[in-house]
Amino acid sequence: MKHLSAACIVALLTLTACSTGSGSDSGSEEKTTLTVFAAASLTEVFDDVAEEFNKTEPDVEVKFSFAGSSDLVAQISEGAPADVIATADESTMNTLNSDDLLAGARQIFASNTLALAVPKGNPENIASSKDFTGKDLVVCAPQVPCGAATEKWAHQNDVALDPVSEENSVTDVLGKVSAGQADAGIVYVTDVARGNGDVEQVALDGADKVINEYPAATVGASENQEAADEFVSFLKSDEAISLFDDAGFSTP
């Protein structure tokens, strides 16, 4: 019985060793999850950028949180876990920079300009800002980059704005116009492009003089700073630039 027990023990040890060796030979490693906070106007194009990035960094999984830039900055300031932040203007990003919440330099990777979105068919026949009077106009709130740009544009062109609502993200403005809940909304040119035909674009005179530049940076509290730096750098790669251009952004 003693010899039989010893043999069993040897057999068990052999099976355990084989099992352990099989696991190490598989070479499977847990992926690094990269959390990217990004401006709402980047929603579709960043999904495409992530796909391209994954081709060069297959061990990194990118997850996004899209919202108004000011909301994202506030979340990071309050300690929300994020690895990368991309905002729709530099002034919003400056809040994090001044609070020493960023790691490394910011990268400007794209820019955008304003446009007027109207429902398909333009039922109110809005041709310019001169037709705003008496119409249900929706804009972004002043603390949001598209809202700050809208105020700057209105000031430069002596346009009196009387919106029926101010939204916390440009996506919300686009949504109200697409659903026919507003006669017009001031958004970015890229938002009209991603409106799936539910909205049409009306040019805003002088909008080309109000340009929002999009910066990205690694968050100082990130636990994946190497991967975060690689993603920020990738935003200026040829592959990413091509995607931004196709989406209607301007690139440096």
Whether residues 79 and 191 fall in one domain: no
Whether residues 179 and 119 fall in one domain: yes
Whether residues 127 and 185 fall in one domain: yes
Q: What type of residue sits at position 232? A: V
Nearest partner of 37 among 238, 178, 252, 228, judged by Cα:
228
Whether residues 106 and 217 fall in one domain: yes
Question: Which residues are CB-contacts of 230 (< 8 A; sequence separation ≥ 6)?
Answer: 57, 60
Q: For position 194, what pLDDT does the model report? A: 85
> CB-based burial of residue 55 (10 Å sphere; 0-12 exposed, 13-18 middle, 19+ buried)?
exposed
Contact 167, 141 (CB under 8 A): yes
Whether residues 116 and 169 fall in one domain: yes
Whether residues 97 and 217 fall in one domain: yes
Read off the tokens for 47.
């999904």
Structural domain of residue 242, as residue ranges?
32-111+213-246
Distance CA 252, CA 111 (A): 8
For residue 234, being part of any structural domain is answered with yes
Q: For position 145, what pLDDT does the model report? A: 95
For residue 190, being part of any structural domain is answered with yes
For residue 95, being part of any structural domain is answered with yes
Contact 106, 216 (CB under 8 A): yes
Tell me the Cα Rg of the chain: 25
Whether residues 118 and 229 fall in one domain: no
Domains in the chain, number: 2
Read off the tokens for 128.
């310019």
Question: Which residues are CB-contacts of 18 (< 8 A; sequence separation ≥ 6)?
Answer: none
> CB-based burial of residue 162 (10 Å sphere; 0-12 exposed, 13-18 middle, 19+ buried)?
exposed
**pLDDT averaged over consecutive 10-residue blocks of the chain (252 residues)?**
45 42 48 96 96 96 96 95 97 89 92 96 94 95 95 95 94 95 96 88 93 97 96 97 96 90
Distance CA 45, CA 169 (A): 16
Read off the tokens for 40.
């709402």
For residue 24, being part of any structural domain is answered with no
CATH number of the domain that residue 188 is part of: 3.40.190.10
Whether residues 101 and 128 fall in one domain: no
Contact 111, 150 (CB under 8 A): no
Whether residues 46 and 93 fall in one domain: yes
Q: For position 252, what pLDDT does the model report? A: 85
Q: For position 29, what pLDDT does the model report? A: 67
Whether residues 139 and 202 fall in one domain: yes
How many secondary structure helices (H) and strands (E) does the chain include? 9, 9
For residue 21, being part of any structural domain is answered with no
For residue 83, being part of any structural domain is answered with yes
Nearest partner of 182 among 172, 190, 197, 192, judged by Cα:
172
Whether residues 105 and 121 fall in one domain: no
Whether residues 117 and 172 fall in one domain: yes
For residue 175, being part of any structural domain is answered with yes
For residue 7, being part of any structural domain is answered with no
